Amino acid sequence: MSETIRKVISERVVVANFFSSRFSGVHESIRISPDKSRVAYVGFRKNKRFLVVNAEEQKLYDGIAEGTPIFSPDSKRIAYGAKLGKKWVIVRDGKEGKPYDGIMKGTPVFSNDGNRIAYGALTGKLFGFSTKAQDYLRRSHMAWGNIFKAKWSLIVDGKQDRYYNEISIPVFSPNNQHIVYTARKGKKWIVVLDGKEQKEYDDIGEGTPIFSPDSNHVAYVAKLVNKSILVVDEKEGNQGDRMDGLPVFSPDSKHLGYVAGFGKKHCVVLDQKEEKKYREILAGSPAFSPDSSNTAYGAFTGDGWNMVINSEEGKQYKAIPPISDNNPIFSPNSKRVAYSALTTRNKSIVVVDGSEYGEYDDVMQDTPVFSPDSKHVAYVVKKVKKWAVVVDGHEHKEYDGIGAGSVVFSPDSNQIAYFAEVGNKWLAVLNEEEGQQYDSFVPVVGFVFTQFDQFGYWVQKGTDMYFVEERIG
């Protein structure tokens, strides 16, 4: 990492009094657009609720739906659920949609380009519940629609699909052209792709259906009697007695992997070819590298856990965390791999390209992370009661805490930043150089490198939320 000279060039109030008692209960509603240019949250005045976007108050409503607002991926649009009397509407860029008896929790959702929007709408009354309970149920994806004669339908770009007893949160395809969701008809479940119903099953696996990255394929787990089966483009078929996990497409969409069960054994299946059978396979397996040429998964032999990379078993450990975005993690160029593990001495280590690093009391869950140029790897470790960031095996200063998810490399890979706790204060650390202390930081945002020589972050200072921008010399 390069030598760093820092200078604060601006401290701008983003939301005045946001951390005061009068804003209590709305902190969890804060949203910052993906491009970091807009800040939105839910405010309240007496019995009314309203959205605030970049300090501008929007229309007053009787309520704002839990989990909203949401920004579109391109940051140009914003949407939220709002209550008008006994009805609920979706408000998109200030324009209200058709009123319904309820809006499904977890919706609305935008397409990747931000041009399309979909949400679940409830029609009918939930008899037998208090007004307060009904308001909660109307905002939730619950299974009481059939019992209380209420029906759910999907609204896509303002057009209403058919009614069902239940529906799932919809998923847009990566190319924005398709939308898929699951629906319950009586006691059976179906997948609905672009309004077309597929075969009925006893259930559809949670977390599915999924699109391939090229948007040309749809895969899901279907349950028939007591068996789980794989369905790809409406064709049933999987190895083994059952599906033990979710299907995973490679980034180039050319490969499909999943975990299959064979009696008491399990194995990863890649392109319908069975790998070695094990007693257990880690949840989330397999993981693909960014270029789709490498795979990794955790397997239990009966004596311990091994990370299996390209079908070759690594060293055995007492435990390996579940497969996730950060464990194991392939470098951006797909040539390196890192993961954390627990040794028989009950110590946590990090394995990078087959080499072990350190013995710690813990390794933070969302690390390790690689730099964009794949040359550096960083992770957060616990040593007794202190925490430290480790970069390429070099331990930084120990702190009372490191902000979860805050470790980030700059786009040119020359800088590494994170939030660190000192007593009851927090500060931004850049290449081991400490910044000013603040009361807290805003964890949902992290850092933004605005230019090659500038970076910024959101903090709490007194009762106000600030955006701090620094120049890197």
pLDDT tens profile 249-268: 999 999 999 999 999 999 99
Cβ atoms < 10 Å from Cβ of 24: 9
Determine contact, residues 40/50, Cβ cutoff 8 Å. Answer: no
For the cut 60, the answer to whether the pLDDT of residue 234 exceeds it is yes
pLDDT tens profile 91-126: 999 999 999 999 999 999 999 999 999 999 999 865
Percentage of residues in the chain with pLDDT exceeding 70?
92
Give per-residue burial for 182-192: e unless 16+ CB within 10 Å, then b. Answer: bbbeeeebbbb
In sequence order, what are the beta bridge partners of 394? 391
CA atoms of 62 and 30, how far apart (whole Å): 19
Determine contact, residues 68/99, Cβ cutoff 8 Å. Answer: no
Residue 323 binned pLDDT confidence (cut-offs 50, 70, 90): confident
CA atoms of 22 and 402, how far apart (whole Å): 29
Tokens describing residue 293: 């040429």
For the cut 70, the answer to whether the pLDDT of residue 132 exceeds it is no
Residue 134 binned pLDDT confidence (cut-offs 50, 70, 90): low
pLDDT of residue 445: 73
Report DSSP letters for 134-183, one per residue.
HHHHHTS--S-TTTTT-EEEEEETTEE---BSEEPPPEE-TTSS-EEEEE
CA atoms of 105 and 343, how far apart (whole Å): 41
Give per-residue burial for 218-255: e unless 16+ CB within 10 Å, then b. Answer: bbbbbbeeeebbbbbeeeeebbbebbbbbbbbbbebeb
Beta strands in 186-335 (DSSP E): 188-193, 196-197, 203-204, 210-211, 218-224, 227-232, 235-236, 242-243, 248-249, 256-262, 265-270, 273-274, 280-281, 287-288, 295-300, 305-309, 312-317, 329-330
CA atoms of 98 and 287, how far apart (whole Å): 42
CA atoms of 30 and 43, how far apart (whole Å): 10
* Maximum C-alpha span of the chain: 66
Tokens describing residue 434: 């400490």
CA atoms of 458 and 36, how far apart (whole Å): 10
Residue 68: CA count within 13 A, CB half-sphere: 31
In sequence order, what are the beta bridge partners of 43? 50
Residue 381 binned pLDDT confidence (cut-offs 50, 70, 90): very high
pLDDT of residue 17: 77
Sign of CA dihedral 306, 275, 261, 251: positive
- Tell me, rounded to whole angstroms, the distance of Cα 379 from its chain centroid: 19
pLDDT of residue 14: 82
Determine contact, residues 294/307, Cβ cutoff 8 Å. Answer: no
pLDDT tens profile 140-161: 544 333 345 689 999 999 999 9
Tokens describing residue 349: 């280590």
Q: By mean pLDDT, which of 172-176, 281-285, 452-456 is the weakest?
A: 452-456
